[in-house]
Chain A
Amino acid sequence: MKNSEGKKGNILDVRDLVIHYELEESTVRAVEGMSFTLGYGETLAFVGETGAGKTTTALGLMRLVPSPPGRMVGGEIFFEGRDIMKASGEELRAIRGEKISFISQDPMTSLNPVMSVGSQIAEMVVLHSGLSMRESRARAEEMLSLVGIRKERMGDYPHQFSGGMRQRVLIAIALACSPALLIADEPTSALDVTIQAQVLNLMKGLKERFDTSMIMITHDLGIAAETCDRVAIIYAGRIVEMADTESLFTEALHPYAIGLFNSIPRIDDDRDLLDALPGLMPDPARLPQGCPFHPRCAHASQECENSAPGLEDVGNGHLLACWLRGKRNSEVGSVAQ
């Protein structure tokens, strides 16, 4: 069952991905040249605010961006060496669900309300594994108990479950075919903190058990710190900083990343006022010239207004898209402790 046994290198390699939504009056540049890799067994966090392009990127990886108005403008996506951009509809259907699974934010709307949860898990197995219905139901029972739901509840419908339990059902469906890659889009945002802790704990355990690679989309830096190996900070459709969790959380370098850290209230500090970043994220239909962050950046120079910096290694695999890259963050203003 192990996905990554004996496998080295990257399960996913994304280069210069560009995704636009073409509306009548304007073009929304949701994803503007995203490049990253994901290693076998690795968990990568996509952290950013609403509208940063996190979900569009995730949908793009499975070629699920609704079209129209969405359009995959350019770039390459290699999943286990196969070029997703060139895959046929049939190939894509075989990949989705079986090789790449998706857990959405909202457990209330992503389950079929008129189908028992057992059947929803079994359906997935039948479609992708070639097992018989009886075998698939046995697999569904096994998955339910793995996520901590008694098998007696196989015949129950989504409305009979609480939010946390529904999210567990979604996790059971997503992992039923032991996918190689799991994309979780804000899987716990709709849940209360104690339930969130249960679900994150469960996901962590199952990820290890199935040795799944994972992309975790979240706006919560705490979740990223606790569940992920590497973190990508996303702003206006681009990765502005990407590093392993340890170095990102000890020394964030991008002014936006530093701004994010400083704007969250923490239980371990007693600041009177938060250092709120001024302004708003730019409208993706009207991105500014140059670095998309420069209108809000306290350190912006003429160079930042003229051209956008690329994502470059500033040492030990710490990637940064900022013209200040040579300078230490102490010169830029550091994270409040």
Chain B
Amino acid sequence: MIEVRSLKKYFKTKEGMLHAVDDVSFSVEKGETLGLVGESGCGKSTLGRTMIRLIDATSGSVHFEGVNIMELSKGGMKSIRKKIQIVFQDPYSSLNPRMSVKDIIAEPLIVNSTFARSADRDKRVWELMDTVGLARRLAGAYPHELDGGRRQRIGIARALALSPEFIVLDEPVSALDVCIQAQILNLLKVLQKDFGYTYVFISHNLSVVKHVSTRIAVMYLGKIVELAGGREIFKNPAHPYTKALISAIPRPVAGGRDERIILEGDVPSPVNPPAGCRFAGRCAIKTSECEREDPELEEIAGAGVEGGSHFVSCFNSGRSAG
């Protein structure tokens, strides 16, 4: 459904070029959820926005149902946007505080002149509110009167208004408490089942990503370092960064846990990144090769006990972290 090829997004800064997304390629299949996981500043949100052309790419292509949307005209882009939507992280700043719930959900329908009669439009708004579990009595309320969970439901209803096929979910539950988070995650899953949506789910929370994703891509400093099925990547992580990331999650269980891998240092700056593997500076199994050359994302043979392909960009992934 979506083919991303060699996508790059650089930002100019005073110190030099910031490589937010650096030569990333992957595809998303119809009806699946691709999880994009990584720590702050790894470029996952920039990737999510660049791939649907909310910001223009530096280079690379994104084919949506066979059409390269990077080359589309403004008009062509507008018609394809109906099929592509995004839900933002912050349900506090992504909703216009001066618009009522009903107006926010109706806006995409008005902008795209979907309905000739306002009665039909209203009907669609009621339908959307029912779908996402917002009581109709809240139609006249303003965002500030509602809690975070309800606001996020408004953001989801707005994204669904034009019956899209593909939705980028950018940290949709990060601002929410666990109980509300569970309600929203369930809603997203049920909607996908009912309407066949394709999702890219961006999050820093590995447990959440594992829960919702068919496949997971792990990002580090603008690159995808590992890509595999959700169960596979947790069972057989191959990249040392993925291993450290999984090991770092505090487990809500009593007593014993495996020895934790603790990474030294911070994520280096994405401005003028050094040659070689981006992770080399914090890696326990690096070799001199890692400092000279940047490993490509390649399929590993023999893995994939959980089915599907498993890609990793590491020269030494066959070796254990010791």
Q: Which positions in A face B, CB cutoff 8 Å?
A: 49-50, 162, 164-165, 192-198, 200-201, 219-227, 245-250, 259-268, 270-277, 280-281
Contact = CB atoms under 8 A, between A and B. Distances in A.
Nearest to A225: B252
Interface residues on B, range: 35 or more
A246 B179 contact: no
Contact of A280 (B180, B255, B262): B180
B262 A226 contact: no
A222 B248 CA distance: 11
Contacts of A165: 266
30 contacts: A49-B178, A50-B177, A192-B267, A193-B39, A193-B248, A194-B248, A197-B260, A197-B262, A220-B250, A220-B252, A221-B252, A222-B251, A222-B252, A225-B251, A225-B252, A245-B254, A249-B253, A259-B179, A261-B252, A264-B207, A265-B182, A265-B211, A266-B207, A266-B211, A267-B210, A274-B186, A276-B183, A276-B185, A280-B149, A280-B179
Given A192-B39, A280-B147, A280-B149, A49 B249 contact: no
A13 B186 CA distance: 41
A74 to B, nearest CB: 28
Interface in B101-147: 147
Contact of B179 (A49, A162, A245, A272): A49
Nearest to B208: A265
B244 interface: yes
A274 B211 contact: yes
B248 A196 contact: yes
Given A49-B177, A193-B249, A197-B262, A250 B182 contact: no
A225 B185 CA distance: 24
Most buried by A among B179, B247, B255, B266: B179
Contacts of A225: 250-254
Q: Is the interface of B mostly helix, strand, loop or mixed?
A: helix
A203 to B, nearest CB: 13
B110 to A, nearest CB: 31
Contacts of B181: 263
Contacts, number: 122
A194 to B, nearest CB: 5
A281 B178 CA distance: 12
Contacts of B211: 265-266, 271, 274
Contact of A250 (B147, B206, B254, B262): B254
Interface in B189-211: 189-190, 204, 206-208, 210-211
Given A193-B249, A246-B254, A274 B182 contact: yes
Contacts of B267: 192
Contacts of B252: 220-222, 224-225, 249, 261, 264, 266
B207 A265 contact: yes
A106 to B, nearest CB: 15
A327 to B, nearest CB: 22
B96 interface: no
Given A192-B39, A194-B263, A245-B254, A273 B249 contact: no
A102 to B, nearest CB: 22
A261 B247 CA distance: 20
Given A49-B179, A193-B245, A276-B185, 9 more contacts: A193-B204, A196-B248, A200-B250, A245-B254, A261-B252, A266-B211, A266-B252, A271-B211, A276-B183
Q: Which of the listed residues B177, B245, B250 has the most CB atoms from chain A within 10 Å of its own CB?
A: B250
B246 interface: yes
